Amino acid sequence: MFVIGMHGPEIASTVRAGQFVNLGWSPGPLLRRPFSVYRSDGEHIEVVLNAVGTGTAQLLGMDIGEHVSCLGPLGRGFEIRPGIRTAVLISGGLGVAPMPLAARDARQAGAHVTWVHGARTAVELCSETEGDEVIWATDDGTEGSRGTVVAAAPQAEVVLACGPNRMLAAVAERWPEAQVAVETYMGCGTGVCLGCAVPLKRGGYDRACREGPVYRAADIDWGALPSHLSYAVTR
């Protein structure tokens, strides 16, 4: 996993955990690419990524000082009310992205924060250790407990999760009230194209880029949400 830092004071000072930015550059692919904000201080933001396809490969090929057009902060982030006592952050693969900000906010809200990292195998695990406690889980048991990240997670008052949609569906089974950040393809990131449709249990579709990307787990019709987005494949 690689981290790209950008100078962007307006975004850095207003972004909330779980919100994203939509990045565009030239020459690049036609559409922008959405990335969760990974860290921010007053002046800079960071995103975390892997070279998955053309877009991410080009981003990682850039040199220090090159310009990227950055639209944001976009979407609705995690809701972390003051006074909570325990929070569990569950991340699979690149789902670590929104978690450092979530950990910061949850601790500020007074919670004891446990971060549970999951991946297929040890080398894909993220070594991030924000929060009070860190738990590891790998499908093949090469690091931490063997099995899913959902099984490895302890109980908590607030559960925040991000990762492949398949993993989030498992989170929804165990914690219907969990807040999950979903992945969809996005056309605009600003609410005008309706490309980022998230199927809802009550029928109809929401826009991941406006009403989401963070949802109450129980609100999503998981069977109708694509789990095979090429970039959701953990690598």
Ligand X SMILES: Cc1cc2nc3c(=O)[nH]c(=O)nc-3n(C[C@H](O)[C@H](O)[C@H](O)COP(=O)(O)OP(=O)(O)OC[C@H]3O[C@@H](n4cnc5c(N)ncnc54)[C@H](O)[C@@H]3O)c2cc1C
**Positions that interact with another protein (CB under 8 A):** 24, 29-32, 69, 71, 184-199, 203-205, 210, 224-226, 228-230, 233
| Partner that binds at residue 209, options ligand FMN, a second copy, ligand FES, none, CB closer than 5 to 8 Å by kind | ligand FES
Assess contact for 47 and 37: CB atoms under 8 A.
yes
The CB-of-224 to ligand X minimum distance in angstroms stands at: 17
Q: Which neighbouring-strand residues pair with 136?
A: 117
Told to check if 186 binds ligand FES by CB under 6 A, we report yes
Subset of residues 62 to 81 that bind a second copy, contact rule: CB under 8 A: 63
Looking at the chain, how many residues does it have? 235
Q: Which does 183 bind (CB under 5 to 8 A by kind): ligand FMN, ligand X, ligand FES, none?
A: ligand X
Q: Which of 27, 82, 83, 230 binds ligand X (CB under 6 A)?
A: 230
**Minimum distance from CB of 187 to ligand FMN (Å)?**
6
C-alpha span between 96 and 104 (Å, rounded):
13
Q: What angle do CA 167, 71, 32 make, to 5 degrees?
A: 65
Grouping H, G, I as helix, E, B as strand and the rest as coil, residue 113 is strand
| Angstrom distance (rounded) from CA 134 to CA 152 | 11
Report the distance separating Cα 104 and Cα 106, nearest Å.
6
Q: Does residue 200 belong to the site contacting ligand FES (CB under 6 A)?
A: no
Residue 227 near a second copy by CB under 8 A: no
Using alpha carbons only, how large is the chain's radius of gyration in Å? Answer: 17
Q: How far apart are CB 94 and ligand X at their closest, in Å?
A: 5
Total residues contacting ligand FES by CB under 6 A comes to 13
Q: Does 27 bind a second copy (CB under 8 A)?
A: yes
| 24, 28, 187, 199: residue in contact with a second copy (rule CB under 8 A) | 28
Report whether 168 contacts 138 (CB < 8 A).
Answer: no
Query: How far are the Cα atoms of 118, 139, 203 from residue 167, in angstroms, in the given order?
Result: 10, 12, 22
Return the one option of ligand FMN, ligand X, ligand FES, none that residue 207 interacts with (CB less than 5 to 8 A, by type): ligand FES
Residue 44, number of CB atoms within 10 A of its CB: 14
Decide: is 36 part of the binding site for ligand X (CB under 6 A). yes
Site residues for ligand FES per CB under 6 A: 186-189, 191-196, 207-209
